[in-house]
Every structure is written in C-alpha cells, then in structure tokens.
Amino acid sequence: MIILITTSLFGHLASRVGIPAVIGQLFVGIILGPALLNWVHANDFIHIFSEIGVIILMFIAGLESDLTLLKKYLRPSIIVALLGVLIPMVLIYPVGIVFGLTQFESLFLSVIFAATSVSISVAVMKELNLLDSKSGSTVLGAAVVDDVLAVVLLSIMVSLIGTKAGTDTQIPLALTFLEQLIYFAAIYFVMRFIAPLLARLGTKLLNPVGPTIMAMILCFGMAYIADLIGLSAVIGAFFAGIAIAQTHVAHEVDQSIEPIGYAIFIPVFFVSIGLNMSLAGIEHDLLLIIVLTIVATLTKILGAGSGAKWAGFSSNEAYLVGAGMVSRGEMALIIAQIGYQSKLISDDYYSAIITAIILTTLLAPLLLKHAARHINY
C-alpha cells in the first residue's frame, strides 16, 4: 500500500516538473528503503512482485514494438551492442586498478558495467512516444544482443572463477550457446504457429479475458525457458510480446495487461532498484562511486552512440541511442550479486559498486529526456 501511494505521488510530481515519472518512482525506493527511512525492505515478496513487474514491462514493450522496424535496424543494433560492451570494458578495467582492486576484480567490474538493462529506458521511451522510432527500435534490438553478450561474458568469468578456486564449476559454453541458438530459432515457430494458436484458443474460451490469459501463459513460459538457458527472463517476455503483437488479439491484450502492470507490479519493480541502495559507510567510497558513475555513463554513451553513428544515425539520434543504453538496472545488479556470492568482489567495494549501478540507472531517464528534446520524429 505504501509503495503504491508513494510511487503514484512521486510519479505525478516528477511529471509535473517535467522529468520522467520513472525517476520519481526510483527515488521512492531510496527514500523508503535502508538508505533513508528504512520502512520497506527488499524481501521475497518485493522480489517476486518486481520480477513479475519487469517481465510485464518488457512484454508490453514487445507488444507495442514494430517488428518491421526491429528487423530493419538489426545491423545497427548489433554494432551498438558490440561497441556498447567493448568500450565500457576497456575503460572501466583501469578504474578498478587505480582504486586498488585486483586484476581479476577489475576485470569482473568491467563485466558488471558492460551489461545494460533497458527496462527503465523502455518505460521512459514509452512515456516520450519514442518506442517505435528508429532510435527506440535500435535500443530494443541492441538490448537483446547486449543481453546475450553479458551472458557469454558472465559464463566465461564463472568458468575462470572455477579454475581459480580449483573447483569444478566450469560452464559448458558450447552447450549454453547451442541452447540459446535453438531458443532464438524457436522464436520464429512461436510467432508463426504457437502465438496465433493461443490467440484463437483464447477467443474460444468462455472467459472475458481469455486472450489475455493465453498471452500471459506465452509470456511467462518464454520468460521461464529464457531464464533456464542462461538468458534474462525479460528477453523471453519481450519476444512473447512481439509474437502476440502479430495476432488479431494484440490490441485487446494490450488494453488488458497495461492496467495490471502499471497499477501493481511495475511500480514495485522501480522501487526494488532503490531498495538496494545503502548510505552506510558511503563517505569512504565516495570518490570510487563518483568516478565509476561518470565513467560508466560516458562509456555507454560513447560506445553505443559511436555504434549508432557508425551505422549512419545523426548525432542527435546517436546520443539518444547512447542514453538509452546507459541504464545498468537489474542486469548489472544480478551480475554483481553473482560475483559477490562467488567471492570475486570483496566486501570493501560491493556497496560502492551497487550504488554506482543505481546512480547510472537514475541518470538514464534524465539523459533520455535531454536527448529526446533534440529529436524530431
């Protein structure tokens, strides 16, 4: 109840002063959580609601995406993702070395900040009506490629951890790649056969929301399988949305699912990001947090933006694409958590890294809003 009241109020106030409503909702997590008031904690209940929230958010993004635009901008998306991963990795590694992290910790630090989570950017672009634009489609496409790259890098790092620790935790990379290739190939059959079949079954059900139920079955099913093979669940949800968008029930499903998502689950997802932030001992790590945040933000804008520019986008469009890839969100938080549990990131730096991830996530909507002012679609 507290989350819904405060996210509604802060989202409204943010919109009134001309900044994306998402920013207000993200700040709610910081205000209500351990960082300030300590009223709400990141428990299992919050975690489950936030997981459902981000899956529904990305499902809606897929549902409202133009498949022809995504296909058209596939090449720019790949270039944007590659440079958007490479440049942060190259430039964040020396930051770790300068601040006293070991070579291995610095390498993992660069992997953490190479990741991108566009779920926040999706919410902002939807608010700004840019989701179906040239830049918006490129950001969505790049997010898929970026996610695959993040999984590959994480798999390699976990393999290195296993070797370092002398334990058998090697991930069979070839098998992981094969599973993911099969998954992406299977998406065609989902779009061509399974989604239309489920849409027809939904309309025949003696249930007023039959098509929406079938769409949710597909959404959570594809999200689960994606998670099972090492991809982010949001990628499965995104493609489920695209598949349903090609059916005759797309509009009905969209009208039904948006109120559910935005009334309950999606606000909890935004708040959950802020709940990870803690100000305990922050003064000792202040310089590291500031430098990490600045370098992480600039390297994504430079890397992804350069990729967009190379692909023939204008400077303003390239800036918008770069801004859209800045948010590290839940993807970086998950990678950081894995590294922490594997003793790859020491306790001394963990809080600073989490804070820097959250700060980049907070900056992303502001940068997107600034970039959008210079775009005329």
* pLDDT class of 165 with cuts at 50, 70, 90: very low
* pLDDT class of 339 with cuts at 50, 70, 90: confident
* pLDDT class of 377 with cuts at 50, 70, 90: low
> Mapping DSSP to helix (H, G, I), strand (E, B) and coil, where does residue 209 land?
coil
Chain center to CA of 328: 7
Q: Would the pLDDT of 171 be above 60?
A: no
* pLDDT class of 310 with cuts at 50, 70, 90: very high
Let me know: does 212 contact 257? Beta carbons within 8 Å: yes
- Where would I find the H helices in the chain? 2-16, 21-32, 44-63, 67-72, 74-98, 103-114, 119-127, 134-165, 173-189, 195-204, 210-228, 233-245, 250-260, 266-275, 286-310, 315-324, 329-341, 347-372
Residue ranges and CATH numbers for the domains of the chain are 69-252+282-374 (1.20.1530.20)
Greater confidence (233 vs 293) lies with 293
pLDDT at 248: 95
* pLDDT class of 8 with cuts at 50, 70, 90: very high
Q: Out of 71-80, 116-125, 171-180, pick the least confident.
A: 171-180
Q: Would the pLDDT of 243 be above 70?
A: yes
* pLDDT class of 167 with cuts at 50, 70, 90: very low
pTM for the structure as a whole: 0.84
